[in-house]
Amino acid sequence: MTTTQPAHTPLGSLPPREHLRLGQIDTVLDVVIPVYNEESDLEPCVRRLHDHLSRTFPYGFRITVADNASTDRTPEISASLDEAIDEVTAVRLEEKGRGRALRTVWSLSDAPVLAYMDVDLSTDLNALLPLVAPLISGHSDLAIGSRLARSSRVVRGPKREFISRSYNLILRGSLAARFSDAQCGFKAVRGDVAERLLPMVEDSGWFFDTEMLVLAERAGLRIHEVPVDWVDDPHSTVHIARTATEDLKGVWRVGRALATGALPLDRLARPFGDDPRDRELTGVPRGLARQIMGFCVVGALSTLLYLGLYSLFRLGVGPQTANAAALLLSAVGNTAANRRLTFGVRGRERAVRHQAQGLVVFGIGLALTSGSLAALDAATGDPAHGTEMAVLVAANLAATLLRFLLFRAWVFTDRERDQGRERARGREPERNGGAAVQERHTAVPDRPAAVREHPTLVREDPTPVPARPAPVRNHPAPAPDDQHPIPAPHHPGRSPR
């Protein structure tokens, strides 16, 4: 059967959110259930979920059971469900890891909305439609169930309650996370977002969810939260101590990557506003609030460095020499910090030029502070050290405001920042009035075909979708990227085709 692949989104920022064209889509939702040795719970839970979706979900759906190298009868039960229910697909992986299972199935799925839930169905299924509705409408990029929202109703022991709240406090304090519940096994993501986001997520275990949410939030994607009714499974096989240790390691790794700018999060950015007129506005400052905040932090640290150096140099030289030396050293550090942290210019190209321009700005600041000291000396003759410091602080505030304006308008312009971001993700910046951008390195791969062949999602072509044919099973699963090779899923007891 000949199929048409979904349109691949080019590697700039993400396109504006749009309501899904539901009349052209056969399978709107793909719900993944990762399992490991769940022979007792698997069949009743899958049948309950299928019955709920058949009664309440108004669009086409698929339930994918992702078996993580189970050693009991889980593979046989998955295969029997696959045979008995058209909307159920079984996928077998030979390695454990919830994150690995979700990455595998989501990367291979052709559904525009991807979700997952734990096999115990601890979350009330009435929250499923509110979970995916904002993704279908185009309002949000990801959606999560939250057990910590005020209107949530949760039944669980004090130990798990303490661990969950402590973990989310750690995320808020270390990674500045704003979502309320990272660990609830009830999440969904739009397919076009998953296409960009999954290759950036390194973890293949329990930290997969948290890493995905942190990166999405840092990139400015919209995360919708749904209060849920949740009942703890007393027979859960999750190893709390080992999971907590791995999660803390993941927090450290992601925090370090974010601090060093190692992740190309601009690939996940959405345009401002969903109204096309918003994207045609010119002259609107981009990221001004964030730049001001970053500049203030860098400026405060630079001022402390300057005052410390000035006090140190003042022990051996006069005020003018001490001021010039302290201002020069702090200006070099200030320019480097603002280049990287405030204005997001990466790479070594033009770094010397930027430092030279920064020295010009330094010269203006030197003129302001030196002029202030000269005026103070002329007015008082022999001013006290405290008076000198007060005058220098006032002069530095004026010089700081002027420095920000010159940095933004002259040194690190919008074009400089855009070119720096292009180089950071391995692309040649636009030249000659907007020539086409060329890729240097391997791009994020296209999303491959589905695990089980369904009528293809067509996003642009208005041609009606043909009726669903008999399912084609045992479709080989290509690896979506070199970093996370994905084994070919197969059905238990069947040889691959």
Tell me the per-residue pLDDT of 373-396, one tens digit each, with 9 for 90 and over. 888 888 887 788 888 888 888 887
Lowest mean pLDDT among 48-62, 141-155, 308-322: 308-322
Q: Do residues 459 and 465 lie in contact, with contact meaning Cβ atoms separated by under 8 Å?
A: no
Which residues contact residue 86 at a Cβ distance below 8 angstroms, ignoring those fewer than 6 apart? Answer: 471
Q: What is the 3-state secondary structure (H, E, C) of 154-205?
A: EECCHHHHHHHHHHHHHHHHHHCCCCCCCCCCEEEEEHHHHHHHHHHCCCCC
Report the pLDDT value the prediction gives residue 485, as an integer from 0 to 100. 47
Using alpha carbons only, give the angle 129, 132, 137 rounded to the nearest 5 degrees. Answer: 110
Q: Please name which of 497, 492, 495 lies closest in space to residue 93, comparing C-alpha atoms.
A: 492
Q: 111, exposed or middle or buried, with CB in 10 Å at 0-12, 13-18, 19+?
A: buried
- The residue assigned the tokens 């559904």 is 111
Report the pLDDT value the prediction gives residue 160, as an integer from 0 to 100. 81
Q: Which pair of structure tokens corresponds to residue 157?
A: 């022991």
Report the pLDDT value the prediction gives residue 484, as an integer from 0 to 100. 46
pLDDT score of 352 more than 50: yes
Task: Identify the band that residue 232 occupies on the pLDDT scale cut at 50, 70 and 90.
Answer: confident
CA distance 452 to 395: 68
pLDDT score of 239 more than 50: yes
CA distance 163 to 181: 12
Q: What domains can be seen in the chain, in order of their start residue? A: 22-264 (3.90.550.10), 291-424 (no CATH)
Which residues contact residue 94 at a Cβ distance below 8 angstroms, ignoring those fewer than 6 apart? Answer: 69, 487
Q: What is the 3-state secondary structure (H, E, C) of 99-139?
A: HHHHHHHHHHCCCCEEEEECCCCCECHHHHHHHHHHHHHCC
Q: What is the bridge-based pairing of β-strands 427-428 and 223-227?
A: unpaired
Q: Using alpha carbons, list the distances in angstroms from residue 432 to 350, 419, 435, 437, 488.
A: 18, 13, 6, 11, 45
Task: Identify the band that residue 342 occupies on the pLDDT scale cut at 50, 70 and 90.
Answer: confident
Report the pLDDT value the prediction gives residue 117, as an integer from 0 to 100. 95
What percent of the chain lies above the pLDDT cut of 90?
33
Q: Which helix (H) or strand (E) holds 25?
A: none
- The chain-wide mean pLDDT, for the chain, equals 77
Report the pLDDT value the prediction gives residue 465, as an integer from 0 to 100. 37
Q: Per residue in 1-38, pLDDT tens?
A: 333 334 444 455 677 788 888 878 899 999 999 999 99
Please give the residue that has the higher pLDDT: either 491 or 63: 63
Q: Per residue in 294-340, pLDDT tens?
A: 888 887 888 888 889 989 998 888 888 888 888 788 888 888 888 87
Please give the residue that has the higher pLDDT: either 411 or 40: 40
Q: Please name which of 295, 128, 116 lies closest in space to residue 194, comparing C-alpha atoms.
A: 116
Q: Per residue in 402-429, pLDDT tens?
A: 877 887 777 776 555 555 555 544 444 4
- The residue assigned the tokens 């950036």 is 200
Q: 370, exposed or middle or buried, with CB in 10 Å at 0-12, 13-18, 19+?
A: middle
Report the pLDDT value the prediction gives residue 420, as an integer from 0 to 100. 52
CA distance 198 to 107: 8
Q: Please name which of 214, 216, 217, 222 lies closest in space to residue 174, comparing C-alpha atoms.
A: 214
Q: What is the pTM of this model?
A: 0.59
pLDDT score of 476 more than 60: no
CA distance 129 to 226: 10
Task: Identify the band that residue 152 occupies on the pLDDT scale cut at 50, 70 and 90.
Answer: very high
Q: Which pair of structure tokens corresponds to residue 111?
A: 């559904």
